[in-house]
Structure 1
Amino acid sequence: MADTIQFDLVSPERRLASVQASAVQIPGADGDMTAMPDHAPLITTLRPGLLRIESPEGNSEYIVTGGFAEIGSGSISVLAEKAMPAGEMTRGHLDDLIAETRAKHEAAKAASDVQPSIVDDAAKLLADMEALGDHMSL
């Protein structure tokens, strides 16, 4: 068993991490998971949350608002909708993200042709975003 696996975190704005990781904790849409070397291959969607990387160089944390994670045979790739180092997150950033998510939820509720499941998904996203602030004590 290898001790590390290549990990890459990218958002539309920039590449945030490219390291050899011993473990990556991922906020998956169906629950948190920890990916390590020799993990079974899979693809999952992300929910808003804290992504943690353990590596020989040290540990790091990033805030992600959604996206996808792909765990392959030799690498883990996270393509985040929005991401930033956890240390850069401020209450102002979080308030902006919550306001944007709340507006999307309201728009989904107001649209007459939207399936109820889409409104429910928007409500869940809003709840996850608000919980992120509680988790980070912001």
Structure 2
Amino acid sequence: MWTTASAEVFTWRDADGKVHFSDTPPPGVDAKKIRAGTQPGATSASGAAGRSLAEQDMEFRKRQTEAEKAQTKTEQEKKDTEDSKRNCADAKRQLSALEAGQRMSRLNEAGEVIPLDDQMRAQEIEKTRNSVQSWCK
């Protein structure tokens, strides 16, 4: 049994401009032989569609990469904000302790504990106020 895929197919236009398809063209007509199962111009259309699909895939990957970068940036900004809030709270606590006159000490270069005198306390208060201004925007 013959199938359409193995049959020859011809196409031609009649006097009215209508396109006809048949396995045998009428005599005296300029008919073109085409492969069964394909349409004329299908190869060029699939080539264009393939390029278009590749372009679409490339654009999708680009959008996906941009979305990942945006998400990473958002997460980093959130982390930075949390760090700033924590540093602000720590600086405010330190400033309150210094201004309240609590006993404080620091380590010197030799690793010895030295209690803060009035001059050192004033320097620490100034330094901590700058930290509060920096972190608590």
TM-score by length of 2: 0.26
Which structure shows the higher helix fraction? 2
Which structure shows the higher strand fraction? 1
State the structure with bigger RCO (CA 8 A, min sep 6), 1 or 2: 1
**Structure with bigger gyration radius:** 2
TM-score by length of 1: 0.26
